[in-house]
């Protein structure tokens, strides 16, 4: 009778692991990091929560890359990714801003905080129904991971007391920031979809490649401060490009021909 180890090898021989399993493991790690972020928020450990949200973003980045490499893209993977993103980049940031600075505003603070979750869900649903399996050059609306990263960068760089510098009406400065991020997620502004780590993409987009490299270097050398600077540049470039396109459309619009006179 063969030893147990040899029997296990025979049972495993010929069996094939589905390619979907590889990216799915990264997606589940993303969701786990989101859950751990929520746990740390509940305990008041906000910096730990922020870093778990960042780690969730790393796993979210790699699950798409792995899926394309192993040809493991599937409808199951798309839906799983959206569910994980809802936890890590919707629920966790919304709970974070509520517990960090907005809970003192009671029901108003709760409603404002929830906008990150609600707008994020709408953003993910819109992406799912329009996704055709190919990564596009632009996303419609602010991607939900970038919204979460913006919240994290702000909280890592700004003390809670700094948010008590009141804006008109006696509201925390986080209130207009949260409302603005929620609005950007459901807007029709084109946001760059990010780099593809390939020589072909770099040759096709040399300027973008340089900008993303600068952003990466800022994060590596300046850490949380570099993350805030890089994200501020990302928002400025994408919103600025949208405003330029709008201005060009207005200038190129031709007035209607005047109605003929009798």
pLDDT, position 63: 79
Query: What gap in Å lies between CA 55 and CA 184, rounded to an integer?
Result: 23
The answer as to whether 230 is a domain residue is: no
Backbone angles phi, psi at 142, to 5 degrees: -65, 125
Give the three-class secondary structure for 139: strand
pLDDT, position 259: 56
- Provide the domain count of the chain: 1
Among 230, 228, 200, which residue's Cα sits nearest to residue 213? 230
CATH code assigned at 73: 1.20.120.1760
pLDDT tens by residue, 42-99? 999 999 999 999 999 999 988 777 767 766 577 888 899 999 999 999 999 999 999 9
The answer as to whether 249 is a domain residue is: no
Enumerate the β-bridge partners of residue 167. Answer: 171
H/E stretch holding 192 reads strand 190-192
Measured N-to-C along each axis, helices 106-130 and 75-85 cross at an angle, to the nearest 10 degrees, of: 170
The answer as to whether 103 is a domain residue is: yes
Structure tokens at 144: 């939900």
The answer as to whether 231 is a domain residue is: no
The answer as to whether 135 is a domain residue is: yes
A 10 A CB-CB count for 113 gives: 24
Backbone angles phi, psi at 206, to 5 degrees: -65, -40
Give the three-class secondary structure for 150: helix
The answer as to whether 10 is a domain residue is: no
Provide the domain limits for residue 140: 18-193
Enumerate the β-bridge partners of residue 139. Answer: 191
Sequence-separated (6 or more) residues with CB below 8 Å from residue 212: 194, 195
Are the CB atoms for 113 and 136 separated by under 8 Å?
A: no
Among 99, 87, 95, 98, which residue's Cα sits nearest to residue 56? 87
The answer as to whether 114 is a domain residue is: yes
Query: What gap in Å lies between CA 158 and CA 171, rounded to an integer?
Result: 16
pLDDT, position 17: 60
Q: What is the DSSP-derived secondary structure letter of residue 105? A: G
Q: How many residues does the chain have?
A: 262
pLDDT, position 65: 76
Query: What gap in Å lies between CA 72 and CA 24, rounded to an integer?
Result: 9
pLDDT under 70: residue ranges of the chain: 1-20, 67, 70-72, 132-135, 160-170, 197, 254-262
The answer as to whether 250 is a domain residue is: no
pLDDT tens by residue, 130-142? 876 666 778 889 9
């Amino acid at each position: 009778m063969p030893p147990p180890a040899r029997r296990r090898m025979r049972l495993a021989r010929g069996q094939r692991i589905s390619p979907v399993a590889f990216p799915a493991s990264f997606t589940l790690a993303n969701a786990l990091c989101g859950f751990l972020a929520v746990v740390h928020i509940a305990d008041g450990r906000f910096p730990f929560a922020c870093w778990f949200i960042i780690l969730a973003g790393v796993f979210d980045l790699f699950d798409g890359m792995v899926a394309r490499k192993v040809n493991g893209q599937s409808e199951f993977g798309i839906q799983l990714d959206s569910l994980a993103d809802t936890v890590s980049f919707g629920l966790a940031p919304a709970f974070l801003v509520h517990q960090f600075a907005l809970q003192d505003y009671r029901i108003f603070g709760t409603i404002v905080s929830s906008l990150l979750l609600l707008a994020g869900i709408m953003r993910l649903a819109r992406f799912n129904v329009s996704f055709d399996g190919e990564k596009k050059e632009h996303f419609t609306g602010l991607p939900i991971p970038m919204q979460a990263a913006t919240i994290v960068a702000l909280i890592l760089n700004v003390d809670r007391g700094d948010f008590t510098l009141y804006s008109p009406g006696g509201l925390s400065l986080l209130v207009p920031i949260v409302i603005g991020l929620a609005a950007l997620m459901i807007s029709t502004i084109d946001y760059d979809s990010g780099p593809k780590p390939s020589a072909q993409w770099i040759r096709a987009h040399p300027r973008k490649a340089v900008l993303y490299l600068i952003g990466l270097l800022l994060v590596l050398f300046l850490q949380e401060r570099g993350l805030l600077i890089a994200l501020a540049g990302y928002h400025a470039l994408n919103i600025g490009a949208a405003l330029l396109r709008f201005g060009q459309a207005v200038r190129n619009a031709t007035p209607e021909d005047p109605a003929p006179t009798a």
